Amino acid sequence: MENNTTIPLDRLKELLDARILTNLCPPDFHIDHVICSELLSDILAYARNVENTALITALTNTQVLRTAEMVDIKCIVFARNKPIHQSIIDIADEIGIVLVSCPLSIFHAAGRIYRELKPEGTWK
């Protein structure tokens, strides 16, 4: 997605009916780009030139967090309220990645963010 605007954490929470899992809430946090992927190698290969990015995924293992860390992804959105182990939340707090859990599917979560970042009339 190309960015037209940005989404702060409070708005992201509202948009996705989400819960913030981490304690970390950086005051300047915002996203303006989203990646949806279950393939970590793909993220490592293609998410190099992005900033202020959220990853929406159904993967809940430690490696999704490490992958996000390596490419500077700021936030991970876990779709469909997948249970997240406390050890993963602790690592996220330590390395500065915001974790969010939402009841939506990946498709619907991405759609709501897309609509926010790319208002109707700007769709390509």
Residues that bind another protein (CB under 8 A): 38-42, 44-45, 48, 59, 61-67, 69-72, 95
Evaluate whether 37 touches 122 at the Cβ level (below 8 Å): no
The nearest distance, CB 67 to another protein, in angstroms, is 7
Q: Which tokens sit at 36?
A: 């949806």
Distance from C-alpha of 104 to C-alpha of 65, rounded to nearest angstrom:
20
The nearest distance, CB 20 to another protein, in angstroms, is 22
The nearest distance, CB 119 to another protein, in angstroms, is 29
3-state secondary structure of 109: helix
Output 17 or 42, the one with its CB closest to another protein.
42
